[in-house]
Amino acid sequence: MLVYDITDLESFQNLNTWLIEIEKNASKNVYKILVGNKCDMENERKVTIEQGKDFADQYGMKFFETSAKHSTNVNDAFLEMTKEIMKNSGKKPQNQGPKPTILSANNGVNLDKKGGCC
């Protein structure tokens, strides 16, 4: 997920650098999505919606504008990314060994007990 701030042109311009890093370090079939954040700050916008869409189209990515502050489109962006990852990963997760042990917050220790070393 490549995220830029719509109120900060430099963050948008840095996307090319991030794409290069992804190409160098990620698998060939890595799914990428472009997210312009802070759409709640329209009056301070420096990157247009069209610029975001054009960039996403150029690199074959889906595009969302979000507001983390107001939770606008955040779930949609993550759900879209998850759907695509699941679709491209063969749909069934492979068994990666034993299931992890789930520990409770107190890990079975009676916290009401007085004394002890700590």
Domains in the chain with CATH codes: 2-88 (3.40.50.300)
| Strand locations in 6-66 (E) | 33-37, 62-65
**What tens digit of pLDDT does each residue of 45-90 get?**
999 999 999 999 999 999 999 999 998 999 999 999 999 888 877 6
Mean pLDDT over 1-8 rounds to: 96
In this prediction, residue 90 carries a pLDDT of: 67
In this prediction, residue 84 carries a pLDDT of: 87
> Which has the closest alpha carbon to 2: 30, 24, 42?
30
Other Cβ atoms less than 10 A from the Cβ of 31: the count is 19
Query: 43 versus 101: which is more confidently predicted?
Result: 43
Whether pTM > 0.75 for this model: the answer is no
